[in-house]
A and B are shown apart, each in its own frame.
Chain A
């Protein structure tokens, strides 16, 4: 087992024929992902690395039974693309696109709930279950199959942590990039719930950052429901209030969202915290 992404995902890529689409379809195929269809309006009949392209999601789903979509379309068209995929019966969506208006994300996250779909992102690098599937733009070479589940609000920082795990021979069950926006579909709590249930996952790593209260809520959840060891790193201990630190969601607003508050909450939940990102690997090794 793994969570959210495994060999059962048949992936359709929305925005398949652009530079990003072509590159990442190739990378995902190399990783072993079942990429079955691509969608770009007006490009039906073309192929990208042998993957057939369709004009719309419904045609792609009808022809290939795709059940998962990777959304790579520009921000202005992202809400439409997600609605289209949900209406075509897609049950797992990974939204990579950055700079999607918050109100658009709020709408499609709610619509996704009514459609019983899992939405990961937006503004995320996607998800990877080593040995099974990668849906997204994470670099394939850093992973190794194993038993650590990783959930993170940051891209590169996660790669860094995963890479340090792999260098020490510690493999991963699934690595989920939750996204750097304030409004995201899958939260730390969803990830913790999935990792707790997953037999392959033996320990959990959370990578948080300033902004919002997702870490504090995760800490409460861990106290009540999580039996597996949890490790965490929080970025932004030195970030000033009121400034957006690169991610739309990384902002201390009205006194809420400080790193201290998150660290305190995790400490209370007996989560093991580190000062430097790569120290997590040392801690797990012990």
Chain B
């Protein structure tokens, strides 16, 4: 779960990492505790808000009200801005980059630091990014911190301050099951202190159960995706008009790829997973119907999951509730004959192979 900047900063506060004084603003009185000039920052779960006009500096209340009304409700890459954070200006002496992420290859927390902060880290050349891996069983040690400090070429006082911040964000990263904690920029202030001007915190969804203090806010999902998530169904909305239902994430992806090959356009990724529970199959079809695809392509491979039990669920949905778009099926594997028998009279179009079914689906969706 991606946290909004202001919520990430609440966590920074909790761990004693200094952030600018600020609060969410909506009306005039929300500015009463803050000293101008201020920075107004649109709270969105995606990058690039600065370029899109989602960050503005304001000198007084009049200007603040004017800019606030422009930012609230603005669309940033199709995301509607609902919250704006106002912060006091910081005294920036130096900008740096600091993050901790999960290194999938080494299977360790990876600290990345750079003396070039404030810009998109993707655009910073590799040789200017310093990396340090932490053994998850022993946690961050002084030698890790010394190593980063020496690479960043900081003076003694700055090194001490950065070391403290590193220890704190490492604790936050581990204790809150983070996939990513990124501070860009992390600044050294005129008075020598270190402050986080931005925050990007992603918490691992699978670990949310042990972080009851974090209120779930699935901002990056569409309403249907949220609905699916609550039902425990892997469901992703895409740009096209063909809804794909398959069992297993890899097979579902491969099905979408096959459609593209035949110039079809996948509109929904729906992975049934290992289930053959008719109730779950029914829920999956209901979700799919709400996404209004032009064609539904059901691709099943039966292993432990028996094709015929899934087919029973499918038949029930189609005969009882009806479905107003063509359904193409391709069924293979355990109990495939029984499954085909069950679906024989349901008015579905069958494909002999993945390619055949993908071709038929793509043609029908055109």
Mark A residues whose CB is within 8 Å of B.
27, 75-76, 99-107, 109-111, 114, 137-139, 141-142, 152-160, 163, 180, 182-184, 187, 207, 209-214, 217, 233, 235-240, 242-250, 254-255, 275-278
Pick from B107, B122, B205: contact of A106, CB under 8 Å: B107
Q: What chain A residues lie within 8 Å of B238 (beta carbons)?
A: 238, 240
Whether B253 pairs with A235 at a CB distance below 8 angstroms is yes
Contact B249 A102 (CB under 8 A): no
Are A158 and B250 in contact (CB-based, < 8 A)?
yes
Q: Is the CB of B332 within 8 A of A160?
A: yes
- Asked whether, in the complex, the Cβ of A246 is within 8 Å of the Cβ of B249, the reply is yes
Where chain B touches its partner, the secondary structure class is: mixed
> Is there an interface contact between A236 and B105, defined as CB atoms closer than 8 Å?
no
Q: Is the interface of A mostly helix, strand, loop or mixed?
A: loop
Closest 3 CB pairs of A and B: A154-B250, A156-B248, A246-B249
Q: Which residues of A contact B205 (CB under 8 A)?
A: 248
A156 touches B209 (CB 8 A): no
Cβ of B256 under 8 Å from chain A: yes
Q: Which of A106, A209, A235, A238 contacts B102 (CB 8 A)?
A: A106
Q: Are A238 and B257 in contact (CB under 8 A)?
A: yes
Partner of A157, one of B109, B234, B250, B353: B250
Chain B residue numbers with a CB within 8 Å of A111 are 137
B177, B257, B353, B354 — which one has the most chain A CB atoms within 10 A of its CB? B257
Residues from chain B with a CB closer than 8 A to the CB of A246 are 234, 236, 248-250, 252-253, 269, 271, 273
Q: Which of B158-166, B258-266, B321-329 contacts A (4 or more CB under 8 A)?
A: B258-266
Contact in complex: A159, B333 (CB < 8 Å) = yes
* Chain B residues with CB below 8 A from A159, complex form: 301, 303, 333
Q: What residues of chain B lie closer than 8 Å to A184, measured between beta carbons?
A: 107
Instruction: Output the least CB separation between A245 and chain B (Å).
Output: 5
A159 to B271, CA, bound (A): 16
Q: Let me know if A155 and B260 touch, CB within 8 A.
A: no
Could you tell me if B136 and A103 are in contact, using CB atoms closer than 8 angstroms?
A: yes
Contact indicator B206/A154 (Cβ below 8 Å): no
Q: Which residues of A contact B206 (CB under 8 A)?
A: 75, 99-102, 248
CB distance from B130 to the nearest CB of A (A): 17
Please give the distance in Å from B139's CB to the nearest CB on chain A: 11
CA distance A262 to B275 in the complex (A): 30
Is the pair B354, A276 in contact by a Cβ cutoff of 8 Å?
yes
> Do A156 and B250 form a contact, CB below 8 Å, given A183-B107, A214-B105?
yes
